[in-house]
Amino acid sequence: MNKNILLIAALALVLALVQISMAGDPDILTDFIVPLNTPPPADGGFFTFTGFRALVTAPFPPTFKVFKAGMEQFPALNGQSVSYAVLMYPSGTVNPVHTHPRSAELLFLVQGSLEVGFVDSTNKLYTQSLQQGDVFVFPKGLVHFQYNADAKNPAVAISAFGSANAGTVSLPNTLFNSTIDDTVLALSFKTDVATIQKLKAGLHG
Ligand SMILES: *[C@@H]1O[C@H](CO)[C@@H](O)[C@H](O)[C@H]1NC(C)=O
C-alpha cells in the first residue's frame, strides 16, 4: 500500500480528533468583538444584558416560554462561546423535543420540578426527575426535552450553553412545520399521507 496515502489518512484522523476536542465556538484573536462600524465600548454597558430584568416582575407566562441571552440578543457574547436561556414552564407544559446543534446544555432548575430526558445516538433514553436546585447536562447535539408534570406548580430553569449561538432544532417544527413533502415524510415514518397531514395540522393550528 502507498505510504503517503496512509500518512495523509493518519493526518486527517488527527485533525478530525483535534477538531472534536476543541468543539466550541472558534477562538477569536481579540479580547472581544464589537459589531462592525461600532466604536470600542466606553464602559461596561456593552458587556451587560438587561433583557432578563423584566422577568423579575412579569407575571408567569401562560404557555412554556424561553427567554434567550445569546449572541443575537447580547452582541458582546460574539466569540465568547457562552450564552444563557431562562425557561419558564407553567404546570403541565413541555419544552418539545429538540436539539442544539452547536452546544451542550447545562440546565439548573431554580424553581419547581421537571422531568427531563435525552436520547443518545444508539436510541437509548436517559431520563431524570429533577427537583429544585438540581443541575442536568444535555450532551451536545442530542435530542432532548423537559416536562413540568406538576399539576399545580410552575417551574423555572436557567440553561447555560457552550456557544454564543447554540441554535435550536425543534423536531416537531423541523419535520411537520417545514415544507418537506408529505410523501417523503409518509415514507420516512412508514405511514400514510393523511397521518402526516394530521400531524402537520396540529402545528399549523
Ligand atoms: C409553524 O410555523 C409557523 C411559520 O413559520 C409559525 O408561525 C408557527 O409558530 C409554527 N408552529 C409552531 C407550533 O411552532
174 close to ligand 1 (CB < 6 Angstrom): no
Going 189 to 194 to 198 to 200, the CA torsion angle's sign is positive
pLDDT per position as a tens digit, 23-74:
679 999 999 999 999 999 999 999 999 999 999 999 999 999 999 999 999 9
Q: Both 203 and 117 in a single domain?
A: no
Q: Annotation-wise, does 204 bind a ligand?
A: no
189 with 159, same domain: the answer is no
131 shares its domain with 60:
yes
- Atom number of ligand 1 nearest to Cα 177: 1
The pLDDT > 90 percentage for the chain reads 87
Say how many domains are in the chain.
Answer: 2
Domain housing 34: 1-167
Based on the fold, state whether residues 197 and 137 are members of the same structural domain: no
Same structural domain, 98 and 175: no
**Is residue 204 scored above 90 in pLDDT?**
no
Please state the three-class secondary structure of 29-67 as a single string: CCCCCCCCCCCCCCCHHHHCCCCCHHHHHCCCCCCCEEE
Dump pLDDT digits (tens) for 72-117. Answer: 999 999 999 999 999 999 999 999 999 999 999 999 999 999 999 9
Instruction: Identify residue 14 by its one-letter amino acid code.
Output: V
- Note whether 63 and 104 are same-domain residues: yes
Q: Domain check: are 163 and 125 in the same one?
A: yes
Q: How confident is the model at residue 16 (pLDDT cuts 50, 70, 90)?
A: low
- Does residue 177 line the site of ligand 1, with CB under 6 A? yes
95 is an annotated ligand-binding site residue: yes
108/162 same-domain check: yes
Q: Are residues 28 and 115 in the same domain?
A: yes
Whether the CB-CB separation of 117 and 145 falls below 8 Å is answered with yes
CATH number at residue 79: 2.60.120.10
Are 107 and 189 members of one domain?
Answer: no
Question: What residues contact residue 138 under an 8 Å CB cut-off, 6+ apart?
Answer: 100, 104, 105, 107, 116, 118, 144
The pTM is what?
0.86
- Clarify whether residues 145 and 69 are in a common domain: yes
The answer on 176 and 156 residing in a single domain is: no
